[in-house]
């Protein structure tokens, strides 16, 4: 399976709405604990932890209603929240599988074999870049430099880095994931 001609569309296609998410009292308290780490007039500093540790965890990805909630909570414009959420590849703009495979596609990884690694992973999983396996176990994405250029080619799965990749290493790794 070739990955070359497949468009990689990472946009969130949810149309704008003013609906805001709701969270349990426990989750709201967790949010307040993060906000309390910053001065009262700097609560926007809690945006990244709240996006990652709360909204993405609770809702599976960064959705419109979660963004609306955070904008209200942190007294920000909705566009402020989207600007941050869409800048970092650690934020998912749509539902992903249990294991989100993010392969670095930037220069060092590219010249050290990223295309072969990407093709190997996609062939093995039977999906294209940007897709999720039917059993919802794996999603494959290409991302910009993950700051581990000296061990290219590399990829991130969840919070873990996997470096100096070869097809054999990839096979072992995928075999080990449930």
| Residues near ligand FES (CB under 6 A) | 104, 106-109, 145-149, 152, 154
Q: Which is nearer to ligand FES, 133 or 151 (CB)?
A: 151
| Pick 139 or 148: Cβ nearer ligand FES | 148
Which CB atom, from 71 or from 104, has the smaller least distance to ligand FES? 104
Smaller CB separation from ligand FES, 68 or 148: 148
Shortest gap between Cβ of 88 and ligand FES (angstroms)?
A: 15
In the complex, the smallest distance separating the C-beta of residue 158 from ligand FES, rounded to whole angstroms, is 17
Q: Number of helices (H) and strands (E), helices first, in the chain?
A: 8, 4
Report residue 21 as tokens. 């998410």
Structure tokens at 106: 């930037």
Q: Least distance from C-beta 69 to ligand FES, angstroms?
A: 33
Choice between 125 and 152, CB closer to ligand FES: 152
In the bound complex, what is the minimum distance in angstroms from residue 106's beta carbon to ligand FES? 4
- Closest C-alpha among 61, 58, 76, 74 to residue 22: 58
Q: Are strands 99-104 and 155-157 parallel, antiparallel or unpaired?
A: antiparallel
Please report where in the chains the tokens 């909630």 appear, as a residue.
69
- Smallest distance from the beta carbon of 145 to ligand FES, in angstroms? 3
* CB 107, CB 99: distance < 8 Å: no
Calculate the CA dihedral of residues 17, 19, 62, 67 and round it to 10 degrees. 90
* Residues paired with 141 in a beta bridge: 102
Share of the chain residues as helix, strand and coil, in percent rounded to the nearest 5: 45, 10, 45
């Amino acid at each position: 399976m070739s990955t070359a001609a497949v468009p990689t569309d990472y946009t969130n296609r949810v149309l704008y709405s003013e609906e805001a998410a709701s969270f349990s009292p426990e989750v709201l308290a967790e949010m307040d604990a993060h906000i309390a780490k910053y001065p009262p007039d700097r609560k926007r500093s809690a945006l990244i932890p709240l996006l990652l540790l709360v909204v993405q965890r609770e809702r599976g990805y960064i959705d419109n209603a979660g963004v609306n909630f955070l904008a209200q909570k942190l007294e920000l414009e909705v566009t402020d929240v989207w600007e941050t959420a869409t800048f970092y590849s650690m934020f998912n703009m749509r539902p992903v599988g249990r294991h989100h495979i993010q392969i670095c596609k930037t220069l060092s990884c590219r010249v050290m074999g990223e295309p072969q690694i990407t093709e190997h992973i996609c062939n093995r999983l039977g999906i294209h870049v940007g897709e999720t396996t039917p059993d919802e176990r794996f999603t494959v994405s290409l991302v910009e430099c993950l700051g581990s250029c000296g061990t290219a080619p590399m990829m991130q799965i969840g919070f873990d880095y996997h470096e100096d990749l070869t097809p054999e290493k990839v096979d072992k790794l995928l075999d080990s994931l449930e």
